[in-house]
Structure 1
Amino acid sequence: MDASVIVAGAGPTGLTLAAELRLAGVDVIVLDRLEQRTGESRGLGFTTRTMEIFDQRGLLHRFGEMGSSNAGHFGGIPVDFGVLDSIHQAAKTVPQSATETMLEGWVRELGADIRRGHELLGLKDHGDHVEVEVSGPDGRHRLTAPYLVGCDGGRSAVRKAAGFEFPGTAATLEMYLADIKGVDLEPRLIGETNDRGMVMCGPLGDGGYTRIIVCELGTPPRRRTEAPTYAEVAAAWERITGIDISHAEHEWVSAFGDATRLATEYRRGRVLLAGDSAHIHLPAGGQGMNTGIQDAVNLGWKLASVVRGTAPEALLDTYHDERHAVGRRLMVNTKAQGLLFLGGPELQPLRAVLAELVRYEDVSRHLAAMVSGLEIRYDVGGGGHPLLGRRMPHLELVGEKRKTSSTELLRSGRGLLLDLEDNAVLRDRAADWSSRIDIVTAAPHGVLADGPLAGTSALLVRPDGHVAWAAPGSHHDLPMALERWFGPARARQA
């Protein structure tokens, strides 16, 4: 085998997956058809859940100063995201180019083999390994690995070559996106429409650029082989707003539609999909890149465990079970948002009613959690503890020698058994899995008087940060949960 895993696509999803695999000691080759990063700022910022994930891996400082805010929207209706229970706000000003730069630097530090200018032409799943045909700077060649993951975008070559079904709805309209400067524009919230279309604009950090989005009603989508010209964007902006921006300097221009598709399965044999390869949708609320990163964090530790032989192959089925459900939910909320901010003036009564409803905190929390990924709760089985299946919240801890936190204890990318009551019997029961999880005894820094952690004595946390077992409250015992998520126990070493 040339590697344990081949990842197609060096965007945010593919790079995150490669990093997660390397944290677990798995060798990985990342292929990307582009010779260098595009430098485009397509995905802008991170949801609250992605901020938590990057913090969990100790990466936030690598971005430098990030503009963050609790101001958000659902389909153009302003929503206060400050109602969410998290120590983080959403980041608003990090362009995708900066995200990819940071991730690639991290992945290279971890020792991944990134091969740019290498395009995947075809593949064959032999049952016990995957063979791929690649075109690179030195011509065509073949690579083999036990597993292949397609993270190569909405037009995924992996998805097509492996025969994944990709049902959904085709685009019904075309939208333009551009980053421009040299023109003075009043900020416009997404969802500001008239009978000609919808426009949005807002500042992009400190570089002097403004992000604009334009959707002209009645304009059918085009099948483009290259990006639109800025002249097309400026002309559409003027037809909708009456304002001439043709003299502005543009950094880059792109077009996209409202096509909505979801792969029927995220795994076929030894080929898996993540990110836009598995799901495409209207980019509402910046959820696409963030969902892809979260796909990768869910898959990475599971694939690494199977490759290393510590967990059975059936663990990979939980990747589809957990993330396909998230993808279905993503399709629903992005479609709903598209109707709200692209539906034209006839939907104004619906917008007005929804604007009244979001004044209720429960409604705001529901919509904000949906867009931010904080509503996700995986079915890990085992009882009624409020944290089962959810992400472990940030918890300040006092250990034997120093202060720490639940977030810091997950930096290694390993599982975590957190013993909050110094229970030697509990730790002994988990000892056979000590090569795969960290067993830590620490006391909460403060009294857990209320909230989901109240009365909790111990937690088993998966490497992706989700709670797989808790005491009291889990019906399954600890060894059962450990075997389900980390494989059979090994005989103790003398």
Structure 2
Amino acid sequence: MSRTHVQVAIVGGGPVGLCLAAELAASGVRTLVVEARTEVSVRPKATTLHARSVQCLVRRGHLGGLSSAQGARTTPFHFAGMPGLAITAPDGEPEPVLKRPQEDLERHFEERARAAGARVLRGVRVTAVHQEHDAVRIHAQGPQGRLSWRAQYVVGADGARGTVRELAGFGSRSYPATASAMMGRARLVDPGSLVPGWHRTRRGWLVVKGAGDGFVHLRTLNCRAPHEDRRQELTAEELCAEVSYIAGREIRLADTRWLSRFSDFARVAQTYRIGRILLAGDAAHVHFPIGGQGLSTGLLDAVNLGWKLALAVRGEAGEVLFDSYDRERRPAAERVVDNTRAQLALMRPGSELDPLRTLIGSLLMAEPESGLSAMVSAQDTVLPHGADPASVFEGRFLPNVALSTAQGPTDVIRLLRESGRLVLLLLGERGAEYAHAVRARPGAVRVVRAEPVAGVASDAVLLRPDGYVAWAAGGGPLEGVLESMLGPGRPAADGPTATVSRPPLRQTPADRAPAVPAAR
């Protein structure tokens, strides 16, 4: 049996696990990813990244070559299959909805993780997880036999049916399935029998998307009852019969592939951390896949956890920092579960819901940039703050404002790409008085001095690596916020506070794209 020690082991090599691995490895953490699949799946899965996920990933340097920024842009979207929703991002931010197949994102994050030094093992299945006093023991089976690792921390990012959650004993709050859905790719024998789009009938929904080469991607929703056995293999005959039933006429399919069943079963783990084991992505939360929010929610888990785990492993923060991961990300998942359940309620075919659908549809058309837009895109997220009293900025996302520093012009996106640390942004001469508070934390906090910024009415702002404001002048003492976030600091050295620099995250060739332009 092979035995190896690592600092963080990630079980699950999908986009969430690989994004987290890239974050950790780029911060100098010895990172291992264990994935049961031998290669990236090409089955159609998620294709949508929403605005806040894109904004956070860009700030961590993860979407170079995939996303772009051309000022404020609006992308039409839907709510419960009804058109009219508009997802808008502020000026200077990337496009508000990034459409990429999940397999492309998975390959992208794997390339970044490997380039940063993470070890990715495919074809290895975890069989046991044992938590010890100061580490976690993992046992697995691979092509070469049994394997074992001792890790400081383990993250279960192995999906809805993953093993880490069950092996570690995580409890969950779940919502039983009430509806059945099917998915597959096929060729229409009569190409005119179904047109692309979202189609509601008195029996359910059909979602039809062109897939190229004469194929269409089909999804069905039948609200009569859930599948008797969701894990039973779906046949081409069943899919054809279901499509025909919902359409109310015979639809003939050929060359079917990538068939699967799913439902509106939903689950959120009762906690995202038990000791040294944490959950992220679908291992922590699953919901009905309406609105394209699942992948975005999981990647926001990874970005939230990555810098916290890296600081703790490097000894720059205590485990108290992990507590905020659960406080911040579990409520976000619960909100997604709630809004997807609400959307499914609107999608049920009963005529008694017609007045409600008409009302919601008219509101969407009259006010497309609504609270629903901010909710679906997660741009309305406000994190719990650590200061008392708190500044109005704390817990909020700082837009990509332009910055003028002694090193030249920059912006928030460029600033946060440079390291996985917190950034204390000192704005103008008055901001310098706060520099002493971080002298004991050079490895956790980078100090940057800049000219005052229009729209940021504060002398100093403490920025998290994901772009959220942890503290701002006008709230409680900065020292207290840092201690509540990171634990006690190290004794400060004598002498003036210096601006601390750290080498930028390693980049793959695809990531060496022009920086996102500053806000105008």
- The TM-score with structure 1 as length reference comes to 0.90
Q: Given the alignment, which residue of 58, 61, 79 partners 1:58?
A: 61
Q: Given the alignment, which residue of 4, 7, 12 partners 2:15?
A: 12
Structure-2 residue corresponding to 1:297:
303
Deviation at 1:209, TM superposition (A): 5.4
Question: Which runs of at least 4 in structure 1 moved beyond 6 Å after TM superposition?
Answer: 64-68
Structure-1 residue corresponding to 2:509:
none
The 3-state SS of whatever aligns with 2:177 is: coil
Alignment deviations for residues 256-291 of structure 1 (CA, whole Å, 9 cap, x no partner): 110011111111111111111111110111111110
Alignment deviations for residues 284-331 of structure 1 (CA, whole Å, 9 cap, x no partner): 111111101101111111122222222111211111111111122122
> Does 1 or 2 have the higher relative contact order (CA < 8 Å, sep 6+)?
2
TM alignment of 1:92-491, pairs within 5 A: 93-180=99-186, 183=191, 185-189=194-198, 192-203=199-210, 210-225=216-231, 227-242=233-248, 246-250=252-256, 252-359=258-365, 361=367, 364-382=369-387, 383-411=389-417, 412-422=419-429, 423-443=431-451, 448=454, 450=455, 453=456, 455-471=457-473, 473-474=474-475, 476-491=476-491
Whether the aligned pair in 2 keeps the contact of 1:194 and 1:345 (CA below 8 Å) is: no
Structure-1 residue corresponding to 2:500:
none
Report the aligned-residue RMSD.
2.5
**CA gap 1:228/1:65 in 2 versus in 1, 3 angstroms:** farther
**CA gap 1:37/1:344 in 2 versus in 1, 3 angstroms:** farther
In structure 2, the gaps of 5 or more residues are 495-520
Which residue identity lines up with residue 326 of structure 2 in the other structure? H
Could you tell which deviates more after superposition, 254-263 or 195-204? 195-204
Identity of aligned residues (%): 35
Which residue identity lines up with residue 122 of structure 2 in the other structure? R
Provide the rounded CA distance (Å) in 2 between the counterparts of 1:343 and 1:380: 42
The 3-state SS of whatever aligns with 1:62 is: coil
Deviation at 1:61, TM superposition (A): 3.3
The 3-state SS of whatever aligns with 1:177 is: strand
Which residue identity lines up with residue 276 of structure 1 in the other structure? D
Deviation at 1:91, TM superposition (A): 3.0
Provide the rounded CA distance (Å) in 1 between the counterparts of 2:249 and 2:175: 33
Structure-2 residue corresponding to 1:76:
81
- The TM-score with structure 2 as length reference comes to 0.86
Whether the aligned pair in 2 keeps the contact of 1:193 and 1:345 (CA below 8 Å) is: no
Which residue identity lines up with residue 468 of structure 1 in the other structure? A
Which residue identity lines up with residue 39 of structure 2 in the other structure? Q
Provide the rounded CA distance (Å) in 2 between the counterparts of 1:92 and 1:465: 19
Provide the rounded CA distance (Å) in 1 between the counterparts of 2:187 and 2:461: 51
Deviation at 1:492, TM superposition (A): 3.9
Could you tell which deviates more after superposition, 215-224 or 402-411? 215-224
Q: Given the alignment, which residue of 23, 34, 37 partners 2:37?
A: 34
Which residue identity lines up with residue 482 of structure 1 in the other structure? L
In structure 1, the gaps of 5 or more residues are none
The 3-state SS of whatever aligns with 1:300 is: helix
